[in-house]
Copies of this chain bind each other. A is one copy, B any other.
Amino acid sequence: MSPSRPAAAPWTLHPHRALPAEPGVREIAVRIHEQTAPLPIVAMHGHVEASVFADDEPFADPAQLLIVPDHYVTRMMASQGIPLESLGVPRRDGGPVETDSRQIWRTFCENWHLYRGTPSRFWLEHELVEVFGVTEKPSSESADRIYDQIAAAVARPEFRPRALLDSFGIEIISTTDPASSDLSVHARLAADGLGSRVVPTFRPDGVLQLERSTWREEIATLAEVSGIDTDTYAGFLEALRERRRAFVAAGARATDHGHLSADTHPMDEAEAAALYARVLAGAEPTAAEAQAFAAHMLLQMAGMSCEDGLVMQIHPGVLRDHQSEILARHGQDKGYDIPVATEYTRALRPMLERHGLDPRFRCILFTVDETVFSRELAPLAGAYPSVRLGAPWWFLDSPDGMRRFRETATETAGFANMSGFVDDTRAYASIPARHDLARRIDAGYLARLVAEHRLEEDEAIETAIDLAYRLPLASYPEPVTDRATA
């Protein structure tokens, strides 16, 4: 409950952190990790804005870089009664929030103990020590000195976003872009020679989810950007096809779908068209109608993936904006998105009946409901050639969460049916930390298999390299017609 005492010696991170405690297993894990630690980062699912790379502006200050935009960090303080306002999280009504970044930083440092046992602690430590060279632990006493050190760093050219791509070792990174994006930022990136290093991802949630207050607006933008009339359902589908082509042309390798449910049951085409027209004309869809349309459209997206080769990522099961007051005051993505139990076996069956054996199709499945790893996702990935099992996502992207994922999914799915590590963050500076943590956990898991004589050490090293580097590249190939043997 009280903050930890300031460290006497300079703060360093143990080279064997997050590796298994048992000395024999750790020794093997160290050898495995030595092989994966230097590998480039393949970041095929991310939420850093493309403009960060296109503008290449310096980051504002430590709080604006590490605290304010990271809802993992702010929600933990909010959960202890510290208002989001005092952490500088903007209000939608423009109401007053803390604007003194140094003060926000102090609040964070005073509450450093709240992160004990969390992955945020691991990521933040890595960022402070490895990225910014901080040598003392955060505390009310050290807060100002650390602030000054980071503030000085981010002002230097080597801490600009593009320079960090190199120092972080990022070979390729994808952004997330709405279906209605004109991709102009990616065009600027391409003009600067970064077109194949920073690639877009097609995220059509905004036009597939009828219940959103912004749906009609998004449909209008879609028409404008695509140049295709979206007044009818047929036009809507054609506009989606056009945008997907544009995304492919801009370097996209995947789509991403964040529906509440994984349902892919089709509607009757005429009913879908009628519902589309009715809602476009101003009617409010019922919850059941919106859900049915979303499911129907997920199936359409799978069909289009067979046509254009974009890998389909499905991230279901999060009830967004559980607290309306937070949503009204601060907007989305503020830490109040809560998972729900999510069914995949029946939900995905229509899609897998239709496209599951199609060599042109690939989908990667994610979950925040870890009960489905052994029960549903590993059996699906271990049977369907089109299905790969994504990395543990969001709340599960943690040391013990990732370990449980390996333990519950590998035995049925096998390694080759997994996507390898995929981070999922809008916190740019945390990307190396996240990949490093994943590589450490995989090294530990594989080392245990070796120590238990379930795997040879050369196989474990090969598998670790697969998971860290080769599988993410192979799982998100450049669009081709037939990826059965990719």
Query: Quick check: A374 and B359 within 8 Å, CB to CB?
Result: no
**Contact A76:B466 (CB < 8 A) given known A323-B357, A454-B122:** no
A410 touching B338 in the complex, CB below 8 Å, given contacts A1-B416, A76-B382: no
Query: Is residue A292 within 8 Å, beta carbon to beta carbon, of the partner chain?
Result: no
Given A14-B453, A22-B22, A24-B21, A322 contacting B349 (CB threshold 8 A): yes
Contact with A369, one of B370, B375, B380 (Cβ below 8 angstroms): B375
Task: Return the contact of A79 from the options B81, B116, B383, B471 (Cβ within 8 A).
Answer: B383
Q: Return the CB mask of A434-462 against B: 1 if under 8 Å, else 0.
A: 00000000000000110111111011001
For this chain, the copies found in one complex come to 3
A340 and B376 contacting across the interface, CB-CB below 8 Å: yes
Q: How far is the CA of A61 from the CA of B466 in the complex (A)?
A: 34
9 closest A-B pairs (Cβ-Cβ)? A21-B451, A17-B453, A14-B453, A81-B484, A398-B411, A117-B410, A81-B385, A338-B345, A400-B407
Task: Convert A400-417 into 0s and 1s, putting 1 for each residue whose CB lies closer than 8 angstroms to a CB of B.
Answer: 110010011011101111
Least distance between A431 CB and chain B CB atoms (Å) = 19
Minimum distance in angstroms from A105 CB to a CB of chain B: 20
Chain B residue nearest in CB terms to A374: B370
* Interface members, chain A 23-63 (any B CB < 8 Å): 23-25
Q: What is the CB-to-nearest-CB distance from A340 to chain B, in angstroms, rounded to a whole number?
A: 5
Beta-carbon contact of A356 and B323 below 8 Å: yes
Whole-angstrom CA separation of A453 from B381 in the bound complex: 34
- The CA-CA distance from A323 to B378 in the complex, in Å, is 16
Q: Contact between B385 and A412 (Cβ–Cβ < 8 Å)?
A: no
One of B375, B449, B466 near A371 (C-beta < 8 A): B375
20 A-B pairs besides A2-B462, A18-B454, A117-B455 with CB distance below 8 A are A1-B474, A4-B456, A13-B453, A21-B24, A23-B24, A79-B383, A80-B417, A117-B410, A117-B449, A117-B463, A323-B352, A325-B357, A338-B379, A338-B383, A340-B343, A340-B375, A341-B341, A369-B375, A378-B395, A400-B408
Rounded to whole angstroms, the CA-CA distance of A143 and B58 in the bound complex is 58
Chain B nearest CB from A39 CB (Å) reads 14
Q: Is A332's beta carbon under 8 Å from chain B?
A: no
Q: Is A470 an interface residue (CB 8 A)?
A: yes
Contact, CB under 8 Å: A19 / B383: no
CB contact list, A413-429 vs B, under 8 A: 414-417
Q: Which residue of B lies closest to A403 (CB)?
A: B407
- List the B side residues contacting A104 at CB < 8 Å: none
Nearest-neighbour CB distance to chain B for A149, whole angstroms, equals 21
Q: Does A396 contact B (CB under 8 A)?
A: yes
CA distance A340 to B375 in the complex (A): 7
Give every chain B residue within 8 A of A369 (Cβ-Cβ): 375
Residues on B with C-beta less than 8 A from A18 are: 452-454
In the bound complex, what is the Cα–Cα distance between A13 and B448 (angstroms)?
Answer: 17
* A446 nearest in chain B by CB position: B117
Check A433 for interface membership: any CB of B closer than 8 A: no
CA distance A352 to B323 in the complex (A): 7
Listed by A's residue number, 5 A-B pairs whose Cβ atoms lie within 8 Å are A113-B459, A117-B410, A118-B411, A322-B345, A369-B375
- Residues of chain B within 8 A (CB-CB) of A474 are 1
Q: Which of B1, B374, B401, B454 contacts A396 (CB 8 A)?
A: B374
Q: Mark A194-209, 1 if CB is under 8 A from B, else 0.
A: 0000000000000000
Answer whether residue A472 sits at the interface, using C-beta atoms and an 8 A cutoff.
no
A21-B25, A400-B408, A417-B79 known; A117-B454 Cβ under 8 A: yes
Task: Among B81, B407, B452, B466, point to the contact of A21 (Cβ < 8 A).
Answer: B452
Alpha-carbon distance between A76 and B413 when the two chains are bound, in angstroms: 8
Are B411's CB and A353's CB within 8 A? no
- Chain A contacts with B in 96-129, Cβ cutoff 8 A: 113-119, 121-122
A168 within 8 A of B: no
Q: Which residue of B lies closest to A339 (CB)?
A: B375
Q: Which residue of B lies closest to A482 (CB)?
A: B81
- Is there contact, CB below 8 Å, between B75 and A382? yes
A324 within 8 A of B: yes
- For A412, give its contact among B357, B398, B456 (CB under 8 Å): B398
> Smallest CB–CB gap between A179 and chain B, Å?
28
Pick from B75, B466, B484: contact of A383, CB under 8 Å: B75
Q: Does A399 belong to the interface (CB within 8 Å)?
A: yes
Tell me, rounded to whole Å, the shortest Cβ–Cβ distance linking A258 to chain B: 16
- Name A324's closest neighbour in chain B (CB-CB): B353
